[in-house]
Amino acid sequence: MTLRLDRRQLLNAMGLGAGTLFLPSLMSDRQAHAAGAAKRLLIYYTSHGPPYWDWSMRPAGSGDDMTQDWEFSLDTLPQSAWSKILAPLYPLRKKVLVLDGLANTAAFASTPTNNHNAGRSTIWTGAEVSMDGNEAGGTGGGISVDQVIAEQVAIAGRKKTLYCNVRANSPLFQGKNQTIGGLSDGARLFDSISGFVGTTAAPSGPTNLDKIRKARASLPDLVRPEYDALIKRVGSEDKRKLQGHVDLMNSLQKELQAQAAPIGAVSGPNGGACTLGSKPPGATSILNTVDGQLKLLVAALSCDITRVAVQAVGQLSGSEFGAVSGADVHQDIAHQASAPGSNASTMMAAYYTKHTEQFARLLSMMDAIPEGSGTMLDNTIVAWGTELANGPHDMYRIPFIIGGSGGGYFRTGRYLKYAETGPTPWRANYGPQTRRLGPAHNKLLVSMMQAMGLPNNSIGISAATANSKTGGGPVDMVGPLPRLR
């Protein structure tokens, strides 16, 4: 049998045929975001947490008082004064904000459960941990901030979000009990966006590949009547489920239509070529895999294929950060890192230094891409948050770092310590009930939304009550985080 379309051509039509194309820039999109709002968001999420004593910084005169707000300039901090874990950020010191003292108050306000579940369920949702979901240890109780923001800033026909996840228990949720999985494979990510770059229009008219892409983009039209027919007949619960599927299919269709355009739909930075590079090869280490994915995510963000991207990173293997091969990273290193100078703490600091190095590589990559009068990093918010505050499970002093000012929205180049004097919600139980907490990290999530131009003033839990040991009054969960601007 002679096929006019061979397997290779079909593979190409699936999106493997990436090219480069010069197109006029999408000025209207950019202008819409020009005035004091961040253009895009990139979330970097890592498992466990760093030892506080090797992460935090206390230069002379900064004060070591946990009960007061204070700050210092990172720009003038001598390189030698940087902490072991944060040192890799020294070259980027003008473009980062280090936030010391925020609490995962949403976790404290939830039914106490396994800290890992609580951490990943709350860190980007600010919502109460759901205990009636599919995981006995609890799961996300509400929509995560990336989804909220993407809903508002996504460009029709482009990717609403891009989400890569290498072995982390996913911290992203479409809604209560609805975990989003993420792509673990860089090649799949490449395939899902390469069509946006497109190929030049053949002088003789559309090729078979163009026609196949167009036909594929019409497949949702073919099957939608079947969904609609079912939705009319089923009960309310099933209706919701099927309607959810249709909604997702409809947004996928817009992406497919954009990719099916006979010429590429996107342009690169400053109206230049959009280049995705080559398909990332499979990598053996988690860090290498993530590096490959971050490169693609940055390319996709720079070409405006998406405005919201997330990279989640699971537990590193011992060999990736210098621990003995075969070490039980979770039990023997992370959990044991409870005292400064201990072997486990030293190893956990090495673990997290690898992440800071990767975060610095990410920021540098974005800072090397010119955009307008500055760089891509300047117009982006890169937010790094961790599953837990540290290896031994704490939920206070969650180490957040913001990279990029979001178009001048945040005042970067500073280390901000927040006073830990606030009350603890009634159900708080990750540690002594009398512990005073810094600001709820929900407020940072609000700041991120507002920096992206959203009017939202809260996310997840909007009201919590302190326990009697810390005064019994209301706990502030709403509004933006002070001092960032």
Partner 1 sequence: MPPKAFPWHRENVEVPMAGPGRAVQALFLGAFVAGCMGDIGSAGSKLDDSKSPNDNPGDPSTNPPIDPGITAACGGPPPIGAAPIRRLSREEYWSTLRDLFTGIDVGRPPLAPDQETNGFENRAKDLFATSQNVSDFNAAAADVVARVLPNLAKILPCTAKDATCAGQFIDKFGLRAFRRPLATDEKTRYLDFFRTQMAAIDFTTAIGLVIEGMLQSPNFLYRPEFGTGSPTGDGRLRVTGYEMASRLSYFLWGTMPDDKLLTTAATGLTTDDQVLVEAERMASDPRARTQMINFHRQWLAFDHINEVYASEGRKDARLYPAYSDGMVSAMREEATRFTGRAMFDGARTLKELLTSRDTFVNATLADVYGVPRPTTWAPVTLPANQRGGILTQAAFLASHAHAVAGSPPLRAVFVMNRLLCFPPLSPPPDADTSPPTQAPGSAARTNRQLFEERVKAGGTCIGCHNLIDPIGFTFENYDAIGKFRTMDNGIPVDAKGALSGTDVDGPVSNGIELSSKLADSQQAQSCMTNFWFEYAVGRDRTEAEACKVTALTKTLKDAGGDVRRLQVALVRSPDFLYRKAN
Q: Which is nearer to partner 1, 126 or 392 (CB)?
A: 392
DSSP class of residue 17 equals -
* Distance of closest approach, residue 364 Cβ to partner 1, in angstroms: 30
Q: Is 280 helix (H, G, I), strand (E, B) or coil?
A: coil
User: Half-sphere exposure of 39 toward its Cβ, with a 13 Å CA cutoff?
Assistant: 26
Q: Which is nearer to partner 1, 35 or 132 (CB)?
A: 132
* Distance of closest approach, residue 25 Cβ to partner 1, in angstroms: 27
Which value, in Å, is the radius of gyration of the alpha carbons in the chain?
23
- DSSP assignment of 308-329 equals EEEEEE-PPPGGGTTPPTT--I
Identify whether the C-beta of residue 224 lies closer than 8 Å to the C-beta of residue 248.
Answer: no
* Distance of closest approach, residue 202 Cβ to partner 1, in angstroms: 15
The rounded distance, in Å, linking the Cα atoms of 466 and 393 is 21
* Distance of closest approach, residue 179 Cβ to partner 1, in angstroms: 6
* Distance of closest approach, residue 69 Cβ to partner 1, in angstroms: 18
Q: Which is nearer to partner 1, 164 or 363 (CB)?
A: 164
Tokens of 451: 């920096």
The b-or-e profile of 281-298 (16+ CB within 10 A means b, else e) is eeeeebbbbbbbbbbbbb
Determine which helix (DSSP H) or strand (DSSP E) holds 385, and give its type and residue range.
strand 380-386
Q: Which is nearer to partner 1, 171 or 318 (CB)?
A: 318
The rounded distance, in Å, linking the Cα atoms of 405 and 48 is 26
* Distance of closest approach, residue 108 Cβ to partner 1, in angstroms: 11
Q: Which is nearer to partner 1, 241 or 411 (CB)?
A: 241
The rounded distance, in Å, linking the Cα atoms of 420 and 396 is 9
Report helix angle 236-260 to 208-233, nearest 10.
Answer: 170
* Distance of closest approach, residue 349 Cβ to partner 1, in angstroms: 13
Q: Which is nearer to partner 1, 180 or 398 (CB)?
A: 180
Tokens of 131: 């205990």
Q: Which is nearer to partner 1, 155 or 365 (CB)?
A: 155
